[in-house]
Amino acid sequence: MSEIIAIDGPAGSGKSTVARAVAAALGWSFLDTGAMYRALTAEVLRRGIDPHDDEAVAAIAADATISTVPRVVINGVDVDETIRSEPVNVAVSAVAANPAARRAMVTRQRAWAAAQPVGTVVEGRDIATVVFPDARLKVYLTASLDERARRRGDEGAHSVARRDSADRDRVASPLRQASDAVVVDTTDLSIDQVVEEIVRWLKTPN
């Protein structure tokens, strides 16, 4: 398996943007697991399935073909725009809380990383604690609620706070800061500054 940088954090903390930029700076691969769960949610809604129907959602997760680069596609359908829609915003926490769906997704994420010829930067909410607990570097990004809501122009502060609560309180792989993660508050930092800090930590001897 390639070396892993695991980046976790709540909605709007900058995970996707930062992870993509770190991967580009290092010449590594990048995996947006949040986009994977949103793609799964879009497919669930497209089929008219209740996001709380655990069995039906798990069945879709087990059989789905998902890619996130260069655009987000599930079962041959481009959902790159759909995954940021309000219906997906509302339903994604329920889909992501499905234990069987998460197991299927984690298996897919590990297999994808194992196939990469170089290092991989992976972002999500359970990457350092569940998916890749042995990652070379674990990073937990955070930012103030107001700043995270500002960044997520498609969601207000109430929606972001609701997702925070759902992500932290779910039984299956809740959002947690790994005990050995480097914590970076991105509220007042530029993307370049965050990337520089993460790359510096990567190069710092253990």
18-54 pLDDT tens trace: 999 999 999 999 999 999 999 999 999 999 999 999 9
Residue 206 in any domain: the answer is: no
Look at strands 73-74 and 77-78 and give their pairing.
antiparallel
Q: Is residue 119 in some structural domain? A: yes
Cis peptide, bond prior to residue 70, ω within 30 of zero: yes
Could you tell me if residue 110 is inside a domain? yes
In this prediction, residue 206 carries a pLDDT of: 61
- Tokens 């897919």 correspond to what residue? 108
- Domain holding 110, by residue range, is 4-201
pLDDT tens for 129-157 read 999 999 999 999 999 998 998 887 767 78
Tell me how far apart the alpha carbons of residues 98 and 19 are, in angstroms, rounded to a whole number: 25
| Residue 6 DSSP SS3 | strand
Query: Does a structural domain hold residue 106?
Result: yes
Within-domain flag for 150: yes
> Helices in the chain by DSSP H: which ranges?
15-26, 33-46, 54-63, 86-96, 99-114, 145-151, 157-169, 191-203
Element housing 123 (H / E): strand 120-124
Residues 106-119 pLDDT 10s: 999 999 999 999 99
CATH code for position 85: 3.40.50.300
Contact status, residue 187 vs residue 195, Cβ threshold 8 Å: no
Q: Check: CB of residue 19 under 8 Å from CB of residue 113.
A: no
**Tell me, what's the pLDDT at 154?**
65
DSSP 181: P
Q: What does the longest C-alpha to C-alpha distance in the chain come to?
A: 51
Identify whether 19 is part of a domain. Answer: yes
Residue 174 lies in a domain: yes
**Verdict on whether the full-model pTM lies above 0.85:** yes
Provide the domain count of the chain. 1
Cα separation, 124 vs 205, in Å, equals 25
Element (H, E) at 154: none
**Would 118 be classed as within a structural domain?**
yes
